[in-house]
Structure 1
Amino acid sequence: MLNSITLEALRALDAIDQKGSFAAAANSLHKVPSALTYTIKKLEDDIGSPLFDRSQHRAQLTPSGKLVLEQGREILKATDRMMESVQQLESGWERHLRIARDTMIPCDPVFNTIQDFNKLGQPLDITLSVEALGGGWDALHSKRADIIIGATGELPKGLFKTMPMAEVSAAFVVAKDHPLAEFEGELSSKDLEPYTSIVIPDTSQLLPARSAGLFTSRNTIRVDNVEAKIKAQLMGFGVGFLPRHLIKEHLACGDLIEKQCYLPRPPIMMYIAWRADQEGKALKWFANALGATNWKAIL
C-alpha cells in the first residue's frame, strides 16, 4: 500500500542514486547492505513495481524508480523544511542561512564574519552566492537569499530592513596596451563605439533587470563576476567601468589607466538588507555583525 512508504525507504533510494551502488549507499547510511536491500525490496512490494533493473551488472533505476526518486526527493525536502521550521520555532535559531553578496563586495569580510559565527558553536548550514546590479533585491524578493550584502539602487519600501554600508565609486579604465590608453580628453560615444565593452549582466530573475555604464560598442563580452571583468580588461579584451576599491593596485602600477568618459557614474550607496518578516537568531546575528563591519575602509 502506498501509505506504507517510509521516509527511511525514500532516503535509501536517494542514497543509492547519489552514491552509485547499494554498498556505498549502505555505508553512507551506516547500515549493512542486506538491510538496505531489504528496505528497497519492501518499497518495491509496497508500490507494486520494480524500482531497479537488476538484469545488468549494475542495478539501474526503472522508469518507475526514477519517478519515485524524483517525487520522493520532494517529500524529503518538504520534511527537512518542516523539521527546520520546528527547530527554529523551539530554539529561535534557524538551521540554514543563505547569504548573497554583490559581485563588488570582496569575499574576505564575509568569510571573517562566518569565522566569528562559528566560534559560537551554533549549528548552521550556510549557502553563499553572488549577485549583480538589481540581483540582490531580486534574490530577497524571490527568497533565494535571506540576507544580501551590497544591495544598490532604489530601496523597496516596507518589504525589507536595511543598513547602509558605504559608497562605492567606479572608474572607466583601459589596459595600458589598449589603443585608448594614449587618448587625451573625455571619451565620447563615438570614441568608444569601435571597441569591445566588458559587462556584468544583472542577475535578476523576477524583478526587471538593470544596467549601468553601458555604451554602444562593436562587440560585448559578458562575464559573471567582477573578478573576470577585471581580468578581461587587464588583458585588453575591452573597456568599461570597474570599482575603484578593487583596482587600486592596478591603477597605482599603471596596468590599468583611468580615462574621462562621457557616461555619468556617480558613487552609489550599498546596503545590507534582509526581509522584514524574518525573525531567526542567526539572521539577526549576521545582520548585526555585518552592520558593524568597517565597510568604509574596505570599500
Structure 2
Amino acid sequence: MATIHNRVRDALTPETIDLVGAVHRNGSMAAAARELGVVPSALTYRIRQIEDALDVLLFDRSSRQAKLTEAGKELLREGSRLLTELDAIANRVKRVATGWEPQLTLAVDSVISRTTVMELCEAFFALDPPTRLRIREEALSGTLEALTSGQADLAIGVAIEPSVSRSVQSKPLGTLQFVYAVAPHHPLAQAAEPVTDAMIMPYRAVAVADSVQRGRGVTVGLLGGQDILTVPGMQEKLDAQLRGLGGGFLPEYLARPHIATGRLVEKKMQRAVRVIPMSYAWRRAAEGSEGRALQWWLQQLDKPATRKALLERQQTL
C-alpha cells in the first residue's frame, strides 16, 4: 500500500501537472513537446507514467487531437488548485518568518458586540496578513479558561479577574451594565416595581451556559430552585426573552433597541443594578515578545473608542 501511495505522490508533482496542462493547451503531444523543449517521445513516456501510477487514462487517444478525459479534466482542475495553494503556502511561510503568527485564536465572550468584533476582523484582514484568524465564542469563566488552557491567544470580555500569572496579562476593557427585561406578553411585564426576587421566583429564567470545560462553572443572577432555560450564548438568550420563554438580565446595549421598540419591557429591580467590570487578557510569548497579529489586536484594544464599542455597540448582523 505504501508503495502505491509513493508512486502516486511521485507522479503528482507540479512538473507533471504542468506537462498535462501543456498538452491540453496545445492539443497534441508534438506541439506540447515543442513548447516545453523536449522530444515528443519523452513527453509521451512521462504522460504514460502518470497514467500508470494513477491507473487512469488522462487523454482520449481515439482522435489525432489530444483531448482530456473526464479523469484528465479533474486532474488538471484539482492540480491547478494545488499549485495555487502551494504558491500561497510558500508566500505564507515567507511572511510568517517576518514575525506574523501562523494562527491567532480569539476567545470572545458572548456579551461582546459581534458587530464591533467583525469590524475589527475586517480591518485586520485589510492588512493582508499571513495569520489565520480563529474566533471562539465563550461565556463566563470559559472565556478566561480558553486562554489559560492554551486554546486561545487573546480573551476579550473576561468577567473574572485572572489569577496572578507570569504567562497571562490583562487590562480593563470597561464596565457592562445589565437590565432585567421580559417580553411584553410575559406575566412580569405588568408587575409592580420594584420587582423583588420573590416575584420572579415562580417564572423561568433564561441563562447563558458557562462554556468552561473543566469544573462546574459559575452562574450569575439566578435564584436557587428557579426553573431555568439554559442557552449557549447571549444572542440566544436575547432571542429566548424576546419570545417570552423567560426573563433575565441582558446587557443594556443589547436590550436597548428592543426596549425602545416595545419588544422588551425593562423592569426596575429591588436588587442593586448589575454593573460588571470586564477586561481583556492575553498569553505572553515564551520569549516575552508578542507576534505581529497579537500586537495589532492589542493596539486596537488600547483605544478607548474600540473598548467602548465592544461593550456598547448595538448589533447590526
Common topology (TM > 0.5) = yes
Contact 1:175–1:256 at 8 Å: present in 2 too?
Answer: yes
Q: Is the aligned partner of 1:148 residue 2:155?
A: yes
Equivalent residue, structure 2, for 1:16: none
Name the stretch that deviates more: 240-249 or 252-261.
252-261
Q: Deviations over 1:225-276 (max 9, x none)?
A: 1111111111111001000011111112222112233444531122121112
1:88: how far off?
Answer: 8.7
- The percent of aligned pairs where both chains have the same amino acid is 31
Equivalent residue, structure 2, for 1:46: none
TM-score relative to the length of structure 2: 0.64
Contact 2:206–2:248 at 8 Å: present in 1 too?
Answer: yes
Equivalent residue, structure 2, for 1:211: 219
Please, which of 189, 194, 213 is the counterpart of residue 197 of structure 2?
189
1:182: how far off?
Answer: 1.1
Contact 1:132–1:202 at 8 Å: present in 2 too?
Answer: yes
Q: Deviations over 1:40-70 (max 9, x none)?
A: xxxxxxxxxxxxxxxxxxxxxxxxxxxxxxx
Equivalent residue, structure 2, for 1:166: 174
Change (3 A) 1:34 1:272: farther
Please, which of 239, 242, 245 is the counterpart of residue 234 of structure 1?
242
What are structure 1's unaligned runs of at least 5 residues?
13-31, 39-82
Equivalent residue, structure 1, for 2:78: none
How many residue pairs get aligned? The number is: 231
Q: What is the rounded CA distance, in whole Å, between the counterparts of 1:240 and 1:142 in structure 2?
A: 30
Equivalent residue, structure 1, for 2:207: 199
Q: SS at the partner of 2:217?
A: coil
1:119: how far off?
Answer: 2.4
Contact 2:207–2:228 at 8 Å: present in 1 too?
Answer: yes
Q: What is the rounded CA distance, in whole Å, between the counterparts of 1:34 and 1:212 in structure 2?
A: 66
Equivalent residue, structure 2, for 1:285: 296
Contact 1:181–1:257 at 8 Å: present in 2 too?
Answer: yes
Change (3 A) 1:226 1:89: closer
Q: Is the aligned partner of 1:107 residue 2:82?
A: no
Change (3 A) 1:36 1:94: farther
1:91: how far off?
Answer: 2.5
Please, which of 293, 296, 299 is the counterpart of residue 308 of structure 2?
296
Q: Deviations over 1:22-53 (max 9, x none)?
A: xxxxxxxxxx7864569xxxxxxxxxxxxxxx
Q: What is the rounded CA distance, in whole Å, between the counterparts of 2:133 and 2:215 in structure 1?
A: 25
Equivalent residue, structure 2, for 1:157: 164
Name the stretch that deviates more: 136-145 or 89-98.
89-98
How big is the alpha-carbon RMSD for the aligned residues of Structure 1 and Structure 2?
Answer: 3.0
1:198: how far off?
Answer: 0.5
Q: What is the rounded CA distance, in whole Å, between the counterparts of 1:145 and 1:271 in structure 2?
A: 15
Contact 2:207–2:248 at 8 Å: present in 1 too?
Answer: yes
Q: What is the rounded CA distance, in whole Å, between the counterparts of 2:54 and 2:102 in structure 1?
A: 28
Question: Which amino acid in structure 2 is aligned with residue 250 of structure 1?
Answer: H
What are structure 2's unaligned runs of at least 5 residues?
13-49, 57-89, 313-317
TM-score relative to the length of structure 1: 0.68
- Residues 57-72 of structure 1: pairs in structure 2 closer than 5 A: none
Q: What is the rounded CA distance, in whole Å, between the counterparts of 1:169 and 1:209 in structure 2?
A: 22
Q: What is the rounded CA distance, in whole Å, between the counterparts of 2:152 and 2:223 in structure 1?
A: 31
Q: What is the rounded CA distance, in whole Å, between the counterparts of 1:98 and 1:149 in structure 2?
A: 11
Change (3 A) 1:174 1:124: same
Equivalent residue, structure 1, for 2:264: 256
Q: Deviations over 1:155-211 (max 9, x none)?
A: 321231223222100011111111111111232332222111100011111365121
Equivalent residue, structure 1, for 2:146: 139
